[in-house]
């Protein structure tokens, strides 16, 4: 197989991955009429170049939350401001990893008496930079370098030792029938966050509605509030409200923050 053909195949693998959301080694070997060993080499090389993430027997796209950003987009900042506006002083909250949830943190600077637990090192570092720094708790657990967050049973046990007023959880996709979806296969911690909080708030951009993501994270009966942006279509909002989900649509400034 020539180098050119290898590059063409990898380009086609990436296009297929972005189209259907998840591929298997077996599926790709059949499609490209090559060996599974060759496909595994392709996927390893593509992961090393930051084009995808390897998962059991196949691969998934790189989640948008992992793309390096100079700063949060204005949509994320708007959602963060709206979510932070739901938090009263002296609340005990838990914040999941993610760029959208992290966009809340600057908006917490004027909150008083907060206790915040997180599994995200990025969120923890942002909280420590606040002038009005809240009491910070880390979940601990097994470090996942792909998502820059702690996962696993130890983290889940730590969470179950607390009682929270609110949980703030991101999403890679919004399935209007099923619930929130994620590329991360380790969904147990987010579900425990939902279990130990009296209010579950999901933060997700309107562009994530209808995204085909393999893993169901939170069914709608576990979600109290969705904070999105003004791009959320009326039909989607109506469907969610019929399911009992409160919908908050943040106004996005066209002139930046």
Give residue 256's pLDDT band: very low, low, confident or very high (50, 70, 90). Answer: very low
Looking at the fold, whether 144 and 172 belong to one and the same domain comes out as yes
Residue 30 lies in a domain: yes
Give residue 70's pLDDT band: very low, low, confident or very high (50, 70, 90). Answer: very low
Looking at the fold, whether 122 and 245 belong to one and the same domain comes out as yes
Looking at the fold, whether 104 and 134 belong to one and the same domain comes out as yes
d(CA 134, CA 136): 6
- Per-residue pLDDT tens for 180-236? 988 776 778 999 999 999 999 999 999 999 887 778 899 999 999 999 999 999 999
* Span 121-143, average pLDDT: 90
Looking at the fold, whether 45 and 167 belong to one and the same domain comes out as no
Residue 114 lies in a domain: yes
Residue 67 lies in a domain: no
Looking at the fold, whether 119 and 143 belong to one and the same domain comes out as yes
Looking at the fold, whether 98 and 206 belong to one and the same domain comes out as yes
Looking at the fold, whether 87 and 36 belong to one and the same domain comes out as no
What is the structure's pLDDT at 22? 87
Q: What is the mean pLDDT of the chain?
A: 88
Domain boundaries, position 238: 74-250
Tally of domains within the chain: 2
Looking at the fold, whether 210 and 166 belong to one and the same domain comes out as yes
Task: List the structure tokens of 186.
Answer: 């380790």
Check which CATH number belongs to the domain holding 29 and give it: 1.10.10.10
Residue 68 lies in a domain: no
What is the structure's pLDDT at 6? 85
Of the residues 29, 62, 95, the one at which a domain ends: 62
Residue 255 lies in a domain: no
Looking at the fold, whether 149 and 229 belong to one and the same domain comes out as yes
Looking at the fold, whether 217 and 178 belong to one and the same domain comes out as yes
Give residue 257's pLDDT band: very low, low, confident or very high (50, 70, 90). Answer: very low
Looking at the fold, whether 132 and 55 belong to one and the same domain comes out as no
Is pTM, for the whole model, over 0.75? Answer: no
Looking at the fold, whether 34 and 78 belong to one and the same domain comes out as no
Burial class (CB in 10 A: 0-12, 13-18, 19+), 144: middle
């Amino acid at each position: 197989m020539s180098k050119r053909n290898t590059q063409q195949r990898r380009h086609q693998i990436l296009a297929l991955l972005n189209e259907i959301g998840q591929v298997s080694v077996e599926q790709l070997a059949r499609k490209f009429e090559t060996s599974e060993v060759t496909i595994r080499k392709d996927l390893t090389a593509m992961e090393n170049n930051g084009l995808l993430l390897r998962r059991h027997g196949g691969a998934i796209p790189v989640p948008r939350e992992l793309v390096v950003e100079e700063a949060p987009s204005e949509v994320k900042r708007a959602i963060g401001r709206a979510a932070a506006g739901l938090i009263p002083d002296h609340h005990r909250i838990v914040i999941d990893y993610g760029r959208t949830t992290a966009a809340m943190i600057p908006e917490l600077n004027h909150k008083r008496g907060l206790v915040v637990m997180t599994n995200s090192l990025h969120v923890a570092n942002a909280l420590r930079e606040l002038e009005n720094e809240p009491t910070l708790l880390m979940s601990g657990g097994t470090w996942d370098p792909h998502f820059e967050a702690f996962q696993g049973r130890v983290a889940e046990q730590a969470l179950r030792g607390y009682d929270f007023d609110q949980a703030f959880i991101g999403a890679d996709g919004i399935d209007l029938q099923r619930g929130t979806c994620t590329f991360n296969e380790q969904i147990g911690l987010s579900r425990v966050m939902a279990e130990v909080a009296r209010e579950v708030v999901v933060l997700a951009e309107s562009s994530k509605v209808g995204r085909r993501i393999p893993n169901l994270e939170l069914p709608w009966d576990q979600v109290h509030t969705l904070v999105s942006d003004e791009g959320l279509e009326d039909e989607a909002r109506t469907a969610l409200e019929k399911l009992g989900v409160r919908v908050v649509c943040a106004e996005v400034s066209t002139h930046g923050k």
